[in-house]
Amino acid sequence: MSPVFHGESAPCCATTRVLRSPSRRLSGRRGAIHPQMTSLRPTTRNSGLARERDRLAGGFVPNRAAHYNRTVVSPMRNIPDLLTLSRGLIALAIFSLGFVGPEALEAVVLLTMVGWTTDILDGRLARRLQTKPSWVGEQEFTFDMLMVFGTLCYLVMAGFIPFLPALLYVMVAAAFIAYFRSKSVTMSFAFPVVALPLIVSYFNARRAAWWYLIWIAAALILDWRRFKGIVLEFIENAKKLSER
């Protein structure tokens, strides 16, 4: 069965129709015909021959465009969530290296740099791809704290930090975080732990410390606006906390 346009009778044997005039088009509804189209799809369902003929003629096949969007664009939109989830795996890897001991310090510093790089990239990609909010995206700060806690566990297990002071620090931090329920409080306790790999590596693996310093400088230069936003957010949260 072939398509009929505005009262015209279609040849009984035709399977496609060529649009003869650019000004003659359908608009205002789904599947509108563009003037530049030179071939139209038949309305016959499951017409494999017509689809192949349309493809060879260079015609527009909406189903193919939709399939392209589903198979190419959709996986791209998952990349920010995958980067966020990767920090959970990195935290687990850092924790596991605690069983290796001090010899894994350079590897821990490298994994830390990779983890915080994903923290920079996931937000940028999410904004560029205009992804919808997801559960993983909402838990981004939680995954950041997993990395912080995994780093502290490694430093304790490797013998760089005594167990009792670290345990006391975690208990005090947990008490304050549970009481105030503020992101700025959590960040206040997390920041010293974030700085520990740099301090420890400076005295025990100087080469890794220089790598970390170069990475920090590059991150600040390339992502200064984000760093400034984090600082301003911390100050704003601290002001709200003081007004309680």
Question: What's the pLDDT tens digit per position in 85-134?
Answer: 999 999 999 999 999 999 999 999 999 999 999 999 998 888 888 888 88
Q: What is the pLDDT, as a whole number, of residue 223?
A: 87
**45, 86, 120, 219 from 115: Cα distances, Å:** 51, 8, 9, 13
Residue 35 or residue 49, greater confidence: 49
Residue that has been written with the tokens 């290796």 in this structure: 100
Residue 85 or residue 4, greater confidence: 85
CA dihedral 86, 88, 94, 97 (to 10 degrees): -100
Residue that has been written with the tokens 């605690």 in this structure: 98
222 pLDDT higher than 60: yes
Q: What percent of the chain has pLDDT over 90?
A: 51
Q: Mean of the pLDDT values across residues 34-47?
A: 46
What pTM, to 2 d.p., does this model score? 0.68
Q: What is the pLDDT, as a whole number, of residue 238?
A: 78
Confidence at 63, pLDDT banded by 50, 70, 90: low
User: At residue 160, what are phi and psi to the nearest 5 degrees?
Assistant: -80, -25
The whole-angstrom separation of Cα 68 and Cα 158 is: 50
Neighbours of 160 (CB within 10 A): 19
Q: What is the pLDDT, as a whole number, of residue 48?
A: 56
Question: What's the pLDDT tens digit per position in 167-207?
Answer: 999 999 999 999 998 888 999 999 999 999 999 999 999 99
17 pLDDT higher than 80: no
Residue that has been written with the tokens 């005594």 in this structure: 162
Name the token pair of 64: 């193919």
Confidence at 73, pLDDT banded by 50, 70, 90: low
Name the token pair of 9: 């009778």
Buried-state track 168-193, b at ≥16 Cβ within 10 A, e below 16: eebeebeeebeeeebebbbbbbbeeb
The whole-angstrom separation of Cα 176 and Cα 144 is: 18
Q: What is the pLDDT, as a whole number, of residue 37?
A: 45
60 pLDDT higher than 80: no
Q: What is the pLDDT, as a whole number, of residue 166?
A: 97
Q: Mean of the pLDDT values across residues 153-159?
A: 98
Residue 162 is given by DSSP the state -
The whole-angstrom separation of Cα 18 and Cα 38 is: 6
Name the token pair of 146: 């997993």
Domains and CATH numbers, the chain: 79-242 (1.20.120)
- Mean of pLDDT over the chain: 79
